[in-house]
Amino acid sequence: MIAIFSQGNFMFKTADAFCMAENIVLQATELSIASCIISRGEETFDSEEGRALMKEWGVPDNYICQGFVILGYIDGEQPVSKPRKPGRVRIIE
């Protein structure tokens, strides 16, 4: 599990964090590692126990957890994407 933290006062903190999460997922897929993005980072650490973990990990006081990426290996075959429905994508040249 990867917790993604960002500065609490940075305007684009959520967008940047989820771009980072997407890049982690893409690289994990390339390495045949399964992954999933989970939000609710801020709520997860909004407790006495959560703040204690952040302190133990050395996370600066002004940082907020934006979300998580969980990683693991699939027991079996990698799922295959379903085919796209016709007419849902339009390429304009």
Q: Which of 12, 65, 63, 2 is nearest to 36 (CA)?
A: 2
Cα(12)–Cα(60) distance, rounded to whole angstroms?
18
Rounded mean pLDDT, 43-66: 94
* Domain housing 35: 2-72
CATH of the domain at 44: 3.40.109.10
Q: How many domains does the chain have?
A: 1
What's residue 28's pLDDT? Answer: 95
3-state secondary structure of 70: strand
Q: Which two tokens stand for residue 35?
A: 């992954």
Helix (H, G, I), strand (E, B) or coil at 35: strand
Q: Does 12 reside within a domain?
A: yes
Encode pLDDT of 5-51 as tens digits. 999 899 999 999 999 999 999 999 999 899 999 998 889 999 999 99
63 found inside a domain: yes
d(CA 53, CA 58): 9
pTM value is 0.77
The owner of tokens 């996370």 is: 59
Give yes or no for residue 76 having a pLDDT over 90: no
